[in-house]
Chains A and B, each alone.
Chain A
């Protein structure tokens, strides 16, 4: 197991957003985490990333307890989050966003690595010297992914990468995610687009108001009555 959450609770003042969730991601897996608005998906990712404190429970990464670690320590360990809404630094240039992706690393190969990113995302090369605020939504998602890759992640946490993108772009992004996974990065994928998420993942969890309601292989979840009814528009 690269990542394991055990009975994790997270509160926002009075709201109990996570009520004891347990889940895990195996080495090399894509795991989907699906659920309705407000179910607690982003909260789970932010707890893993160290942005939110857990009130109880344990988060283990590559065999080490990382509960309560700082976001920097977690990034340095190789867990990178691409947050909801992409969180592009709009006042920094596209190139600078990529450089900041590699902030925690010794960057003597920065030029070559950035070139690899530009090869994977040619749109970014053309706009490298522009403020990232000039990018379209799809380009911003590419930048967010490219920036995450600059950190050489071992585990990628993706929060709704399909949000606000056209179906063609969604397919492209999901294709890129599977490629990244094939090259050895484990992925925890949060999505409202359950169909797409379950198609590319091996296993999935369904989160309902802060609790894991279901867990199974993605193939089974795609045929599960409840899932079809609640999340696949069936």
Chain B
């Protein structure tokens, strides 16, 4: 029973982690809290759903399409809403409000196209296979969710630590000015980051759509709140913090539903976050360092 809940929590938590990873990446590099990340997530889910219903593609293809579409949307949001403010050296708040505007427009457009109803994947989309390991039953769905989310996160961490452009992203995150003095094309790094981080949001969207088999124009709202909580919990802009924070939240939610009451699911999990923040106000991995220049 506990092991079974453990698997459920891992599935939920790894999707939160994936969402939060993109969110924190944009904050760490572009210094913007992008409140459009939930809308980007939702569009990813619809993109995945659309290719599945129209072309009957596999789950992995649906995820890749969701990532591409969300990535391009994130890049576009950066281009039209964030970049002009960045050029004029507005910080933090103005771009954040611009992303609220983007989120509103995106949600309205989605509502215009898809209406307010809840969509589902075709019933034969995900074979109801399951595998038994010791006492746990893993469904194919759970294996895909955890496998995709964890591999995407590991891939991002690998890219950031081992590749030239990944290191350039970290350099810009620490100081755009120093990065520029080293000849790093800072603007391009911002754009690459916006694309990659939004693609992660899109993957999280498709995975969530598959997990709960429910896709609708407002599905980005609840996960936005969780994403904000998770990156504050993990330490703003910290990659490890986002991953660990997402997993903690997933576990808190599943365990409180399983062992306490589903009525208090959010109260309990957010209460836990609150307690952690009382102990570590800057988050688990947070430092209070301000970025230079």
Contacts and interface: CB of A to CB of B under 8 A. Distances in A.
Do A and B form a real pair?
yes
Interface core residue of B164, B179, B180, B181 (most chain A CB under 10 Å): B181
Interface stretch (A88-96, A177-185, A222-230): A88-96
Interface stretch (B35-43, B113-121, B169-177, B249-257): B169-177
B181 A103 contact: no
A76 B167 contact: no
B167 A92 contact: yes
Interface string B155-177: 00000000010011011011101
A76 B181 contact: no
A39 B51 CA distance: 63
A96 B167 contact: yes
B177 A51 contact: yes
Contact of B164 (A71, A87, A103): A103
A75 B174 contact: no
B183 A89 contact: no
B184 interface: yes
Contacts of A91: 170, 173-174
Contact of A104 (B173, B174, B175, B183): B183
A91 B175 CA distance: 10
Nearest to B181: A81
Nearest to B293: A87
Interface string B224-258: 00000000000000000000000000000000000
Contact of A99 (B164, B179, B180, B181): B164
Nearest to A45: B181
Interface in B162-214: 164, 167-168, 170-171, 173-175, 177-185
A54 to B, nearest CB: 17
Contact of B183 (A75, A83, A107): A75
A81 B177 CA distance: 12
Interface in A65-115: 70-72, 74-76, 80-81, 83, 87, 89-92, 96, 99-101, 103-104, 107
A14 B133 CA distance: 71
Given A92-B171, A103-B164, A87 B180 contact: no
Interface string A29-49: 000000000000000000001
A44 B175 CA distance: 21
Contacts of B185: 70, 72
A103 B113 CA distance: 45
A104 B184 CA distance: 7
Interface string A120-144: 0000000000000000000000000
A87 B170 contact: no
A87 B185 CA distance: 17
B266 to A, nearest CB: 34
A87 B172 CA distance: 12
30 contacts: A51-B180, A70-B185, A71-B180, A72-B180, A72-B183, A72-B184, A75-B181, A80-B181, A83-B178, A83-B181, A87-B175, A87-B178, A89-B174, A89-B178, A90-B174, A91-B173, A91-B174, A92-B167, A96-B167, A99-B167, A100-B171, A100-B179, A100-B182, A100-B184, A103-B164, A103-B168, A103-B184, A104-B183, A107-B164, A147-B182
Instruction: Give 3 closest A-B pairs by Cβ, nearest first.
Output: A75-B183, A104-B183, A87-B178
Interface of B: 164, 167-168, 170-171, 173-175, 177-185, 292
Given A71-B181, A72-B185, A99-B164, 8 more contacts: A76-B183, A87-B292, A89-B171, A89-B175, A92-B170, A100-B182, A104-B183, A107-B164
